[in-house]
Every structure is written in C-alpha cells, then in structure tokens.
Amino acid sequence: MQAPSLHDVAEQALAQMRAAGFEQAQVTAGHTQLNELNVNHNEPSLLRSTDSRKLSLMGIVDGRMASTEVADLDPEAVRTRIAGLFADAASAPKDPANAVSSGQSKRIVKGPQEPQLDLLAGKMSELLEFRVRETPKMTIEAADAKHTLYQWQTLTTGGSTLGGSVGWYGMMVEGGAREGKAVSSLNYAYGAADDLQTLPAHDHFGIGEMMRETEHQIHARPLGEKFVGDVVLSPHAVASLLGWLQGQLGDVQLIAGSSLFRESVGQAIAAPLLSLRSRFDAPGVAPVSPDGFVAPPVDVIRNGVLQTLTPSLYGSRKTGLPHVATAASGWEIAAGETPRDQLVAGIHRGAVVGQFSMGNPAANGDFSGVIKNSFVIRDGAVGAALSECMVTGNMARMLRDIAGVSRERIDTGGLLLPWIRISNLHFS
C-alpha cells in the first residue's frame, strides 16, 4: 500500500489537533532521504541509505503552548500523542505572545532531487588520494560524502501552506595529524552544495586547506608573551562572531532585554567594511522560517549600519518589535577588496585564528578564550602554529575594530564568509 502524501498526513494531523481542542496549531510532515558514503581512519567504511518520516506538532490553547515530534505516523499513534500534547499545553504557562502564522503560501523545489552514488564514491576517492599525495601525516578520523533530499508540508490553523522538496550534496572531513609523538589539534571542514562535480573534492568548503594547515599544526608552540595585536579570523572563526551577533538581534536577548543593539537600528554598530545579508537561496536552504513564514531577502548590516533586528513572530509579539521572518540558515558577509595575504601583511604582531574555544561571552560582550588551529603572525608573515594561546576582548568592539575584509570567501552553503582582520585583541 502506498504511503499517504505528506500533505495528507499534515492535513489529517491538523484536523486531529482541532478536534482535540487546540485553538491554534502548526503541523509539519517531513520526509528525509539520505544516501551517504563514510570514511573512518583513512578507509571507506560504509555506504548506506536511510529513509525517515517525522511529524512535528505545535498547539496553543488559552495562550498555553506545547510541542512535540512523532516518528510513528500511524493515525492512531498520532491521535494518542495529540491527546497527550493537549494535556501538556493545559499545564504550560499562559503567554499571550504564542501564535501561529496565517496566510502564508509557498512551494519550493530546488537542488538535486536524485542522488548520484557514483559521484559520492568519486569524490571520496579524490579526497583519499589527496590525503596520500598532499597530507600523508593527517589521519581522516571521520568523513562523509552524501546526498540529502528533504520534503515537507507545513499547515497551520491560520491557513498557511508551506512545503516543497530541497536536495543537496554535502561533504565533511574531521581529523588530526601526527609525527612521532607530536600531534595536532582536531580540525574539520564541511559544507553543502548543489553540485560537487565542478571542483576537486579538496577544493570544496576549504577542505584541502584545512588538511594542509592541520599538518602544519603538529609542532605547535606557546606564545610566550603578552601583547595587544591583531587577528585574522578564518571563515570558521568569523562564524563564531556572527553567531554572537545574531544572538544579540534575535528572540532570546531581545526578550530578556539584554541585547546590546535593541535600540541601534539605523546606527553604526560595526566598521563600514562589514555588510551582512541573507542568502536564503543557498544550497540546502529553503526561504521559510521555522515558525511558518515566507522569508524574503533581508539586509541586516549595510556598511556597518544596523538595518534590522530579527525577532520571530513570538519575539515580535513579546517585545512589540517588528517581526522579521528569517530562515534557519543562509547568510553571507560581503567580500572586501583586500587580498587575504595583504590582511596578514599589515600586521606587526597577532595571529591567524582557526577556531575559538570559549564559553558564552558576558552580557556586555566581554570574552576570554583559547584560539585553536591558529598561527602566529610576526612582522607581516605567518609563523608557527600556536598552542594554548589565550585571547581576550569584547565582541561588540570587535565589530567596530574590523580593519580589513578579504576578497576571498569560503562557501559552505548555509554560510558564505570571508577572512576578517580585527585590531586591539589582548594575547597571553
């Protein structure tokens, strides 16, 4: 017997939510097909295909909200879970900001809809050959090449109908390098693309550069001194700064009243070199928000000036700020005009930073953390790899102290980011 369509599953679940007594509800029926080739310890280990369905339910009654996910889509199992969800909602705190979307309609079909298994095998073979040829001291602890197809249907009691089918290819490599008893830190690279055929495997997502750098990090050295200098953040480290910034602009900090930028729309919060905008058409990304809205393109920062905050529907109703629908991923920082090598050339003392390792910054943005997969800069030249180097600064000030943005960027699908030079960090 043919399985019911995602629309039928969602429609039936929404009817059951109404019948159970929910005043508002949102349901999403999703189907994920994954074809994946894995490598462990430099050897192909597994080729597998998985197929899974899931139903996400969110209901509101008397301003009280509860949500759940269901893997068993049998109608009786769904009905039983909905009854339990209604009981959960009845005991939840009342919050008039709870609501579902209304009047939204969009169907998206994008990306490769069918997997090419020979392509996955070919890319993994290229990767293993690159390791032997270029980075033999590196061990690929884990890697995969995969094709994912996600199909979904979202319905709400407000009449929203969102759905589609998004396919993409992905690659991930994780590992470390060793020479004798000396070992590097763990390093990794990953990303999503509509097409893996246009480039060799190691040229996707900065994978090859990551593997070369990991070999150069085997014999890392402590900094051995304290000074104030500059950093050149790799795209991976830029992602950490971006994550902090987006947290300041989103629900949690806005609702808590702790956002540093709540009153800063229309004001400069960063150097003019920084521009941040959406790319909700990126590989593996659908231009819809998790709370059921079509997500149009949005400029967040233009030439250093904050253009908008990004509260969800709930965040908007809670704070009174305008609602801005954004997808779960899909962002880019505009490329600069400076070649990456020239960012380094102008630095007297500092470091190229691969990753930050730290806890959450303080409410005012102050942080202190260890930089990993990083290299010292002396008089405009990149030197030895660093071990246990501490950097201290302030996230908000880092945005203002941007002194250069590279022409080059790395595209991982959900993020398209450059290298960024930032001044006035404290090293120890």
| pLDDT tens string 194-213 | 999 999 999 999 999 999 99
Q: Give percent above pLDDT 70 in the chain.
A: 100
| One-letter amino acid of 81 | R
Band of the pLDDT at 98, cuts 50, 70, 90?
very high
Band of the pLDDT at 63, cuts 50, 70, 90?
very high
pTM here is: 0.95
The average pLDDT across 50-72 equals 96
- In residues, how long is the chain? 428
Across-strand partners of 32? 52, 150
| pLDDT tens string 240-269 | 999 999 999 999 999 999 999 999 999 999
State the Cα–Cα distance between residues 34 and 167, nearest whole angstrom: 10
State the Cα–Cα distance between residues 13 and 62, nearest whole angstrom: 20
Could you tell me the sign of the dihedral formed by the alpha carbons of 208, 168, 301, 317, in that order?
negative
Q: Would the pLDDT of 4 be above 90?
A: no
State the Cα–Cα distance between residues 31 and 199, nearest whole angstrom: 30
State the Cα–Cα distance between residues 280 and 175, nearest whole angstrom: 30
Band of the pLDDT at 1, cuts 50, 70, 90?
low
User: What are the respective helix, strand and coil percentages of the chain, to the nearest 5?
Assistant: 25, 40, 35
| pLDDT tens string 258-308 | 999 999 999 999 999 999 999 999 999 999 999 999 999 999 999 999 999
Chain CA centroid to CA 59, Å: 27
Place of tokens 């904050």: 306
Q: Would the pLDDT of 239 be above 60?
A: yes
Q: Going by C-beta distance under 8 Å and a sequence separation of 6 or more, which residues neighbour residue 238?
A: 333, 417, 418, 419, 420
Using the 8-state DSSP alphabet, how is residue 285 labeled? -
Q: Residue 159: left (phi > 0), alpha (psi -120 to 50), or beta?
A: left
Mean pLDDT of all residues belonging to the chain: 96
**Smallest Cα–Cα separation from 297: which of 274, 315, 277, 271?**
277
State the Cα–Cα distance between residues 183 and 293, nearest whole angstrom: 48
Burial of 174 (0-12, 13-18, 19+ CB in 10 A): middle
State the Cα–Cα distance between residues 309 and 362, nearest whole angstrom: 20
Angle between the N-to-C axes of helices 207-216 and 117-134, in degrees from 0 to 180, rounded to the nearest 10:
30
- How much is the pLDDT for 380? 95
Q: Going by C-beta distance under 8 Å and a sequence separation of 6 or more, which residues neighbour residue 291?
A: 26, 100, 101, 312, 313, 314, 325
- How much is the pLDDT for 2? 65
Residue 301: other Cβ atoms inside 10 A: 22
